[in-house]
Amino acid sequence: MTNSTQSTESEHSGPVLTGAGIEKSISGPSGLLTILHALDIEIQPGEATAIVGPSGSGKSTLLGILAGLDTPTNGSVHMLGQNLSELDEDERARLRAGKVGFVFQSFQLLPGLTAHENVMLPLELSNAPDASERAMHSLEQVGLADRSTHQPLQMSGGEQQRVAIARAFVANPVLLFADEPTGNLDSATGYKITDLMFSLREKLGSALVLVTHDDKLAARCDRRLLMGDGKLAAA
């Protein structure tokens, strides 16, 4: 992917992600409903931030806006020095390609592709060289090299999430978003997945924005922000 956004990473110093005055309202059956109230947030390079809060508090909505998957009603988000509101959807996608990783609660692996192909995806999307080798290496790091030809449906939930983690880290992302990564897993598997995710993050120095309602998981982050009534507070 060759475009102007590619150069931003090297030029950029300072926070990898900044949200200022983020507001999100949606029109509901009983009029306009405000989910996020003028939130400010800043994520430094390599920093791990947990956003905790009860279900329905707007954590995932905030994550979506910070990752450029959705747009705020008011306010701005700067990712790697770029103002997301100045970019259209495709430009935001290009900005993410190869630099931002995701780990989802429901894994979000493509069912038609093998583990290896799923992991290769971000590299292919950013035209990175040696995609196949790097994907294999990433799978080895999560201990699933021997399952590389298996499809998601042939794997357990824990294995699928490990593939998702391999995919998230394969492009050495500057920034990693994780949405309830252990939400669909039993606690033992959840711990293993968390260990894996944190050790890879530390190794690569990626910043992490983690949304969870699991306090233990949140405790492993550098700082915790509490989400309640659409507002953020340090926890």
For residues 95 and 87, the answer to whether their CB atoms sit within 8 Å is yes
Exposed/middle/buried for 150, CB within 10 Å: 0-12, 13-18, 19+? Answer: middle
Q: Does 121 bind other proteins (CB under 8 A)?
A: yes
By C-beta, is 149 or 219 nearer to other proteins? 149
Q: Does 179 bind other proteins (CB under 8 A)?
A: yes
Tokens 């690569």 belong to 204
Q: Does 204 bind other proteins (CB under 8 A)?
A: no
Range in contact with other proteins (rule: CB under 8 A) among 12-20, 43-51, 112-120, 194-202 = 112-120
Q: Does 157 bind other proteins (CB under 8 A)?
A: yes
Q: Does 140 bind other proteins (CB under 8 A)?
A: no
| Number of chain residues interacting with other proteins (CB under 8 A) | 40
Residue 69: CB minimum distance to other proteins, A: 4
For residues 194 and 202, the answer to whether their CB atoms sit within 8 Å is no
Q: Which of 20, 38, 87, 113 binds other proteins (CB under 8 A)?
A: 113
Q: Which of 106, 149, 187, 199 binds other proteins (CB under 8 A)?
A: 106
Q: Does 81 bind other proteins (CB under 8 A)?
A: no
Residue 1: CB minimum distance to other proteins, A: 7
d(CA 94, CA 23): 24
Question: What are the helix (H) ranges across the chain?
Answer: 8-11, 59-66, 89-96, 115-125, 131-141, 157-169, 187-204, 215-219
For residues 37 and 29, the answer to whether their CB atoms sit within 8 Å is no
d(CA 224, CA 235): 5
Residue 112: CB minimum distance to other proteins, A: 4
Q: Does 69 bind other proteins (CB under 8 A)?
A: yes
